[in-house]
Amino acid sequence: MKNTMVNFGFISRLEGGPVCKGYVPDPEHSNSGVTIATGFDLGQRSHNDLQNLLPQSLVPILSPYCGMTKQDAVAYLVLAPLEISIDEADLIDLCVKSQLLEQLQYRYNRVSNVSFNRLPERCQTVVASVSFQYGNLANRCPKFWQKSMSQDWIGLVQELRDFGDRYPTRRNQEADYLVLRGKA
């Protein structure tokens, strides 16, 4: 998280804050797995990911939920409920934020004329928020990515308002955050 100004409090509120009981968000319409802490989706992770990312004490607790998504994750969670402490949730959040932000900065800095850490706080925060939900933005959200690369913040607000995903409330909150924090 080198020299960034990402407002993780804003992103955490969008994600529902740190959650200590495992749950599967929108199993009917998404590819989500068991999720814990602030949006940490174990369905998108492997045992090796956990070993490389988290303190070793958390790996055996979380590993059984890795790779399972949708109804398989729901069924397993019924058989083996997952609960962690708030300290463990905060630790997961810290590790995940560092990894995801490092990946985002690398991708952004490779293709943009302006380095990620030189963007205004509101812009860093919104790009990070969408990236944390979708991963590689160049592949998953190319219009959004292109507008962020060219620092077309007015176009980015319009793209968020007409994003077309299942999360219009979140996208509008991100657009509002850009607009209300200064000139977009």
Q: What is the pLDDT of residues 78-134, one digit of tens each?
A: 999 999 999 999 999 999 999 999 999 999 999 999 999 999 999 999 999 999 999
Task: Work out whether strand 40-41 and strand 19-23 pair parallel, antiparallel, or are unpaired.
Answer: unpaired
Q: Quick one: pLDDT at residue 181?
A: 63
Residue 114 is given by DSSP the state S
Domains and CATH numbers, the chain: 8-180 (1.10.530.40)
Q: Quick one: pLDDT at residue 183?
A: 46
pLDDT tens-digit profile of 20-62? 999 999 898 889 999 999 999 999 999 999 999 999 999 999 9
**Is the confidence at residue 73, as pLDDT, over 50?**
yes
**Is the confidence at residue 18, as pLDDT, over 80?**
yes
Quick check: 34 and 77 in contact, CB under 8 A? yes
Q: Quick one: pLDDT at residue 3?
A: 84
Q: Quick one: pLDDT at residue 29?
A: 87
**Longest alpha-carbon distance in the chain:** 50
Exposure on the CB side of residue 75, measured as CA atoms within 13 A: 6
| Range 69-85 average pLDDT | 98
For residue 167, which amino acid is it?
Answer: Y
pTM of the model: 0.84
Which DSSP string do the residues of 96-124 spell out, in sequence order? HHHHHHHHHHHHHHHH-SS-GGGS-HHHH
Residue 40, beta-bridge partner list? 36
Q: Quick one: pLDDT at residue 149?
A: 96
